[in-house]
Amino acid sequence: MIQRVISVSVLMGLATAAASALPCGGPCEWSGEAISNGSYTPYGNLPEDALFRIEGVNHGPWACWALAKWTGIEPTCPTPGCTCEWTDVTVSLRQDNTAATTNGLVHVYVCDDALDPTSSHVYSDWGGSVTGTLVGTYDFVEISNGFLDVYGIGTAGVLTSAADGTLVLAFVDGDDDVAATWAGATSNDYEGPTLQITGRCVPEPATLALLATAGPLAIAAVRRRRRRRERP
């Protein structure tokens, strides 16, 4: 009898612990500037990371694409047993325009985490395909220096790549004459490329499994005890 009572108590305790973690609720978020970025021509990288820029092939020797890298990505929830379910991912860039700035299309790709923005190329060859997954296409429009461009890239293609806390994005020309320049990681005037993740707190899979298992077992055990007591 003592053993049965202890078993029921343990099961009830597990069920209570799981149930108390279920009302996670509330938002979760993470935000951070790129730890590094770089811009590259077909012939090598440009010697600066204070600017983050892309230029289409019509810009001749200045034609380039750009990479930015973030680490330590880990949106968290304050309640134990809860995890952050991502619902939106954006990248914010401060315009830092030049005389060559030209409106046009910009493509954004998720690339291999191992890429180093200070030395890596993402094109297999100039004008060739990008090594990565396309996550967005946007119209760049010159407004003014310091203007904040915010590009939504959703979560598809990003979640898997950023599961280890690292994300590399490539920005490439969508038009031959586009020329977009933003502040880079070491800019003295503006913040560099900034990643923003928002989501909602939900129960971790282990918490749901515990509740699904412990709850019914505890209820069944209590019912069995009641039936035994009711026997004449």
Q: How many domains does the chain have?
A: 1
Of all helices (H) and strands (E), which one includes residue 209? helix 205-230
Domain assignment present for residue 10? The answer is no
Domain assignment present for residue 13? The answer is no
Note down the domain range covering 158: 24-203
Segments of the chain scoring below 50 in pLDDT: 1-6, 8, 10-21, 124-125, 208-210, 212, 214-215, 217-218, 221-222
204 conformational bin, left if phi > 0, alpha if psi -120 to 50, beta if neither: beta
In 1-80, the DSSP E strands lie at 27-33, 36-41, 44-45, 51-55, 65-70
Per residue in 58-101, pLDDT (tens digit) is: 888 778 888 999 999 999 898 888 999 999 999 999 999 999 99
Domain assignment present for residue 83? The answer is yes
Q: What is the pLDDT of residue 129?
A: 62
Domain assignment present for residue 94? The answer is yes
Cα(44)–Cα(25) distance, rounded to whole angstroms?
A: 48
Domain assignment present for residue 36? The answer is yes
Q: What is the CATH number of the domain that holds 154?
A: 2.60.120
Domain assignment present for residue 226? The answer is no
The sign of the dihedral angle between the CA atoms of 199, 151, 36, 161 is positive
Domain assignment present for residue 222? The answer is no
**For the whole model, what pTM was predicted?**
0.77
